[in-house]
A = this chain, B = another copy of it.
Amino acid sequence: MDNKMVRLIPCMLIISGLFLAHNHCAAQKNGGFPFELPKTKPNRKLSAAMQRNYDGYPAPRPEENELYSQFKYTELKGFDYHNHDGTVSRRDPSKVIFANGKYYVWYTHRNTPTPPMGALKCNDTIPSSDWDLCEIWYATSTDGFTWKEEGVAIPRPPKPMVGCRSVATADVLLWKGKYYLYYQGFNEPSGMRGDDCPVAMSSADSPDGPWTPLNQVVIPNGAPGEWDQYSIHDPYPLVYKGKIYLYYKSDFDGKPNLVRMQGLAIADNPTGPFKKCELNPVLNSGHETTLFPFKEGIAALTIRDGNEHYTIQYASDGINFNIAAITSFLPDAAGPFIPDAFTNTKYGRGITWGISHFTTVTDWATNHAILTRFDCDLSLDVNDTGMKGAHIYHKPDFYYKMGLSKTQRERIENENKALGIKK
């Protein structure tokens, strides 16, 4: 489309807006909006919100939207956390895969003499952050609820190789019969400047290993001044359009708050080169990467940060994402079981469960994370009405815990005084 046409669209929308404003209170010939919600967009004048309800979402009701789901959480069995004293942590699970008759998951594992102590107090054995001085471990399960920890998959390599300080936040790829783990490789403790790392990779013929490190950066940070100059987090490979589509998150800016957005890098082979998408970032929100093939495109859980937190999004081309659903209590770091993650599917079927983590288990002094199971219905093959409710009710005490701070109380008192209220 040339620039002239681009300029035309806003004009046409303005003309359309005037037209609507002029007519908004004349009765429509066909009477009021129908009592039975039409399944497809009715042929009548509609408000912006009603137009969006038909054009903007997969279905006019969330309960009939295949990309709308609530999330249920179940405690996992089989993991020991050393009495939750903060010295053992498991977090940032990979996707779950099914192989050799069981489920596999990889995750960041920390086992250190102390809980995280921050960048100023850390040393060769004391971690700065919960993901410092970590290794990639893995576990297997036959039911998805009880797991057997199998041990280390990717240890820290010796200095000065990438990841010598910590390897964390792995995700898995199956490509032409071979397994690949992509992960964050830290060469200095998190918190020295920020949370800086590129992506490293190891490969194996079996999900049980042994894993051979590529021993080089496979996805480099951006050039100075670019959004991903410091961090490439949560590398997340899928097979799509015959290529490896690897999504990732970066933290950037930081004035005053870090911005979290997600990008895409595409490769023909697991060792790269990975070409970053020129339209990056492709997701304006979220925190950790969770995507899956869905119909002809890619769907994404977009959690925690940004204007579009708490949404599930869809891009029919894997690049240009739109909001498909708005929900709540999304898993913070979901690694879903995606049966067609690596099949180069032309029509993705979706997901129903996976592993995520909780980071607020105890308190800051014993800071650590635990793995959890989540369930949902984002699958074309399941129709679980128990996952499609519109709202979750909580008791008043739950809300009262989200109370006012002392500063906020003082602001309110001053606002009351400004109205001239006498006590």
Contact = CB atoms under 8 A, between A and B. Distances in A.
A33 B285 CA distance: 15
Interface stretch (A65-73, A127-135, A156-164): A65-73
Contacts of A380: none
A80 interface: no
A49 B324 CA distance: 12
A31 interface: yes
Interface string A305-345: 11111110101010111100111110000000000000000
Interface in A9-40: 9, 12, 15-17, 19-21, 23-28, 31-37
B142 A421 contact: yes
A402 B253 contact: no
A70 B404 CA distance: 11
A121 interface: no
Given A142-B422, A326-B309, A24 B319 contact: yes
A244 interface: no
Interface stretch (A109-117, A179-187, A200-208, A219-227): A219-227
A343 to B, nearest CB: 15
Interface in A32-52: 32-37, 45-50, 52
A328 B310 contact: yes
Contact of A50 (B222, B225, B281, B395): B281
Contacts of A65: 307
A411 B384 contact: yes
Contact of A74 (B37, B303, B305, B404): B404
A222 B276 contact: no
A395 B62 contact: no
B15 A12 contact: no
A390 B309 contact: yes
B403 A74 contact: yes
Identify which of A266, A311, A329, A404 gathers the most chain B CB atoms within 10 Å of its CB: A404
Contacts of A282: 47, 49-50
Interface in A217-251: 222-223, 225-229
A360 B399 CA distance: 12
Given A49-B313, A309-B390, A403-B74, A143 B35 contact: no
A190 interface: no
A77 interface: no
Interface residues of A, number: 139
Interface stretch (A87-95, A147-155, A170-178, A412-420): A412-420
Contacts of A70: 402
Contact of A266 (B25, B61, B325): B25
Contact of A277 (B24, B225, B375, B382): B24
A102 B74 CA distance: 48
Contacts of A360: 393-396
Contact of A304 (B61, B306, B390): B390
B50 A390 contact: no
Interface string A53-68: 1001100111101001
Contacts of A72: 402-404, 408
A147 to B, nearest CB: 14
Interface in A271-292: 275-285, 287
Query: Closest 8 CB pairs between A and B?
Result: A32-B226, A48-B320, A73-B399, A53-B284, A47-B279, A33-B227, A49-B284, A304-B391
Given A47-B282, A61-B257, A305-B391, 8 more contacts: A1-B19, A21-B319, A24-B319, A48-B322, A49-B281, A53-B307, A144-B412, A382-B411
16 contacts: A20-B279, A25-B275, A32-B223, A47-B320, A47-B321, A53-B306, A62-B306, A62-B309, A143-B413, A144-B416, A310-B326, A310-B327, A352-B415, A358-B395, A358-B396, A386-B408
